[in-house]
Chain A
Amino acid sequence: MTQDQQVVDVVLVDDHHMFRTGVRASLDARVRVVGEADSVESAVRVVHELRPPVVLLDVHLPGGDGGGGAEVLRLCTDVGSDVRFLALSVSDAAEDVVAVIRAGARGYVTKAIDGPALSDAVLRVAGGDAVFSPRLAGFVLDAFGTAAGDVATGDDELDRLSAREREVMRLIARGYSYREVASELFISIKTVETHVSAVLRKLQLSSRHELTRWAAARRLL
């Protein structure tokens, strides 16, 4: 049950009671649900009260100004970086995914995910890493471009991916797990996680022209 780490507390935010029940039942013993919320207001309140290490956040939520999960993220910026958000949605459309990621979520999984995989994702987010699905990696490649000349040379360059980051993204999009990516590229899993976190940061902070245009075409400008 508990190996080297303790049980991770999560707050579950979703407006469907049946789905919350299902998620609670499917999470394994490494994760404990300490609170639930079903709207933007209650989510903000519960997160501020409990300050859990991880919040499982539905993208489409009633209440607030109609901003859904992204609005919760914006209203919770004051709780600090020790509360991390993992977005959870039935939709895997680009605009929904990128909206919550750019609002500050540390990862994105679809509701089709099974219990152990979801628990893994929660632990990964709790550990400060990013969770990338193949779909999200595809969006990143789409947004940052895949042309050969479009490669970042310095670490501080926000608007382009480095050659390695692009390789990692491509492998994840091809269905490789972090472990498989590591062995394919002859690097450690920790290095893969570092690359993925760097890509997440770029996705959140970049003002790359193509990225904003791409987002505009999907109404995110």
Chain B
Amino acid sequence: MPGVRTRLPLRRPTRGRWFGGVAAGVAAHLAVPVPLVRAAFVILTPLGGAGPVLYLFWWVCVPSGDPADAAHESRPSALSRLARRQPDAPVRRWPVTDVAVGVLLVAVAAVLVAARSGVDVGVGWVLPVLVLLAGLALAWSQLDATARGRLRDRAGGRTPVGLLRVLGGIVLAGVGLLLLVGQAAGRGVDAATLVQSVVAALAMLAGVALVLAPWWLRLVNELGDERAARARESERADIAAHLHDSVLQTLALIRAHADQPTEVARMARAQERELREWLYDDRPAPGTSLAAALRALVAEVEDSRTGRDGGAVAVDAVVVGDRVPDADTGALLQATREALVNAVVHGRAPVSLYLEVGPDQVEVFVRDHGDGFDVDAVGPDRFGVRESIIGRVRRRGGTATVTSSPERGTEVHLVVPCRAAPGSPSTPAAETPPAETPTTTTTQEDA
């Protein structure tokens, strides 16, 4: 629920990116609009080129991937939904990267043409640097694709194309470096010395690689294996424990109670609710979510109470917004529970429950489709409505309204101001009529 949202981790999303997805990733991380971040990069450009440098830095350092995806992966699997998520829809976007590459190539061509036609551009170092950069880009693009492939659970980077990319990148970068070295050393270095030093450097590198290769390979393999095994193991344990605790137990109970349709229906409903929560919802940590507390309350009432005909009654609960529970919402939940029990026991299905967390108040509506009752006729000795619902809410500075009519059923409306909201003085809702003043009343007392 949006009320208790945590910061998304820094990732470069593949969707909505212009170049490397850095701006989109930073925007998602800081929860600010993407254009703002893009503007910031542009504004930072004149300041010693800080914009592009920062961008490149993040491009290289931040892994590619969906931020929301990463956030979900970092959740404990016991709290995450089990069902596979729908993959993202593809979006059409401007081929910005292709255009940028094109512009770059045109610029290079222009420089070359200028050099050919006799203009001294004084760019002896440009070609080597360009070759070097192209090599780096080629190798890094492979790294990027590998990371993305791993995140997306694809085949991984060990394709011939990937190998070619890395080799090509290394060769290009090497040639660029050599040219640069040649340039820097003046034109005095002869070819033989250059070749010699290249061979020496390569031999050195090859030796080091040979020595370290087995160790490095084993490390990589072990790390991957161990990580996968651990994740699989904990997930399997969670699912097994859950299936044993709930589904299996319930099935056994249902078989034992096969001759009691009410009991069977109630257990099936409880199991359905629980399984649904496991499969399709991410669960918040205990004690941090009013919505979760309400769902638990609904479950408790559904499990423990039956309707007038002795059958189980399903409650259709809708929650908008969320917040951390406190004493006020605790009182509200208790009042809600009383109202819900009344609706289930005395009213008629369908029973609806709606909770809305506003900026300065929390509202609850409990509605049934029963025959209604005369609110005024409820005696002062009847603790149910007067004390446990209306009194509870009023002591917290809130209001409670009961509306009842034979054709519309009964609706209980509870409002409690929340004090936690900083900056906004909590004012009890003024638009609700005073408590205990039913707008429509009829006879038909509830039992």
Binding site for B on A (CB under 8 A): 59-60, 65-68, 70, 74, 90-93, 95-96, 99, 103, 134-135, 137-138, 141-142, 146-147, 170, 173-176, 180, 209, 213-214, 216-221
Contacts and interface: CB of A to CB of B under 8 A. Distances in A.
A40 to B, nearest CB: 12
Interface in B223-251: none
Contact of A174 (B84, B280, B352): B352
A70 B86 contact: yes
Given A174-B367, A216-B28, A216-B67, A135 B320 contact: no
B321 interface: yes
B33 to A, nearest CB: 6
Interface in B1-46: 1-2, 5, 8, 13, 15-16, 28, 31, 33
B359 A147 contact: yes
A173 B317 CA distance: 9
Question: Of B86, B320, B411, which is in contact with the most chain A CB atoms at under 10 Å from its CB?
Answer: B86
The 6 closest A-B pairs by CB, nearest first: A175-B352, A138-B318, A93-B280, A91-B280, A219-B68, A174-B354
B83 A137 contact: no
B144 interface: no
A90 B273 CA distance: 11
B321 to A, nearest CB: 7
Nearest to A213: B31
A142 B1 contact: yes
Nearest to B319: A138
Contacts of B87: 65-67
A219 B28 CA distance: 12
Interface size class of B (residues with CB under 8 A): 35 or more
A209 B31 CA distance: 10
B354 A138 contact: yes
Contacts of B321: 142, 146
A211 to B, nearest CB: 11
B13 to A, nearest CB: 7
Given A147-B358, A221-B15, A134 B276 contact: no
B289 to A, nearest CB: 14
B348 to A, nearest CB: 12
Contacts of A213: 31
A177 B318 CA distance: 15
A67 to B, nearest CB: 6
B89 A134 contact: no
Given A70-B89, A142-B2, A217-B5, A175 B68 contact: no
Given A95-B85, A137-B318, A146-B356, 19 more contacts: A65-B87, A66-B84, A70-B89, A90-B276, A91-B279, A92-B276, A92-B280, A96-B86, A142-B320, A142-B321, A173-B320, A174-B365, A174-B367, A174-B411, A175-B351, A180-B408, A219-B69, A219-B85, A221-B15
A209 B276 CA distance: 30
